[in-house]
Amino acid sequence: MSFSDNLFKRLDEGRFLGLQVWEFSFKSLSREYGRAFLWKVVLRHPWRTLRGAFEYRRFLKRRRRKGGITHLFWEGEEDFLQKATAEEGILVGLGFCQKPFECPSRRPNHSCLYLSTLDLDQGEEWPHPICRECKVAIMGKKALAAGANMYLMTSALDIACDVMIPSLETGRNAILILCPLSVQAITLPLLICGIKGYLIEYSSGNCRDYEEWLRADRGVKEEMTTLSPGALEKVMGLLHLLASRRRGSIRFERQGNMYWPVGEPSTDGHASV
């Protein structure tokens, strides 16, 4: 281990200045996503960065994590869900590594043929038999009924450009499904960018160290990630609750790398699922 690795590891262990992302941040500075975040967020928005750092210190002290599910909000869960119900812009983000290897849209990318063709006013049509078993389809359909955006996460740079930077002005509520290593790394940038919600960890197939994470960031991922039954149940429960309280949509429209919910439900105010 190099001197700098050792130094930043020790800073993390000692929570220097109340933070625990020194090693990851230092390594990120030599990467495009790290430089993009530094220039477009940290240097352009120093007060938001400072506020995010204070929130992150608070998060570390009062971290609420159970069964691989982390709450990235301070109020009680019901209060947060009521707020999320009233606000626009809920995002459901899943890793491309959750796509099956036989995915007709292939991996790694932001595309899903099922989400592109889904229409809740039409009968169920599966663009490929493998989609029937795919959790992206199951969650995507529920997310659409809840009027939420869907985003298939690929690289850290794309997540910064597609999700974090656009949230700087207005904030955003999100359910993000990612590997435990990413949860540790992404929490501070999310708080700086005003993103609150749930961080749900994969229980298998996830990256185990920074080198594996870097390969996945470049799209090299030989495993398929999965959620534990409890975590999947939690995600589906949250989406079901939001769908019962919010006006849903009937289709997704792809804008850039994101799927946006569009169209009014034609029947009783909620798209049926």
Q: Does 131 bind ligand SF4 (CB under 6 A)?
A: yes
Q: Does 205 bind ligand SF4 (CB under 6 A)?
A: no
Our CB check for ligand SF4 shows the closer of 129 and 269 to be: 129
Pick the binder of ligand SF4 from 68, 89, 104, 265 (CB under 6 A). Answer: 104
Task: Round to whole Å and give the CA distance between 93 and 178.
Answer: 8
Alpha-carbon Rg for the chain, nearest whole angstrom, is 19
Shortest CA distance to 114 belongs to which of 266, 265, 251, 255? 251
Question: Which of 103-111, 154-162, 168-176, 209-217 is the region at the interface with ligand SF4 (rule: CB under 6 A)?
Answer: 103-111
CB of 103 to ligand SF4, least distance (A): 3
Overall size of the chain counted in residues: 273
Our CB check for ligand SF4 shows the closer of 53 and 92 to be: 92
Pick the binder of ligand SF4 from 70, 105, 154, 182 (CB under 6 A). Answer: 105
Phi, psi dihedral angles at 23 (to 5 degrees): -65, -45
What's the count of helices (H) and strands (E) in the chain, helices before strands? 12, 8
Pick the binder of ligand SF4 from 97, 118, 134, 191 (CB under 6 A). Answer: 134
Our CB check for ligand SF4 shows the closer of 58 and 132 to be: 132
Q: Does 258 bind ligand SF4 (CB under 6 A)?
A: no
List, in order, residues 6 or more apart from 38 with CB less than 8 Å away.
Answer: 29
Question: Residue 241 is which amino acid?
Answer: L
Question: Which of 66-74, 78-86, 123-131, 200-208 is the region at the interface with ligand SF4 (rule: CB under 6 A)?
Answer: 123-131
Pick the binder of ligand SF4 from 68, 89, 100, 263 (CB under 6 A). Answer: 100
Question: Which of 16-24, 54-62, 83-91, 96-104 is the region at the interface with ligand SF4 (rule: CB under 6 A)?
Answer: 96-104
Chain position carrying tokens 């708080």: 191
Query: Residue 75 carries which DSSP code?
Result: S
Task: Order the strands of the 64-66 sheet from edge to edge.
Answer: 64-66, 69-72, 195-201, 172-178, 90-95, 149-153, 258-262, 251-255
Shortest CA distance to 64 belongs to which of 74, 56, 50, 55? 74
Q: Does 150 bind ligand SF4 (CB under 6 A)?
A: no
Pick the binder of ligand SF4 from 53, 69, 71, 99 (CB under 6 A). Answer: 99
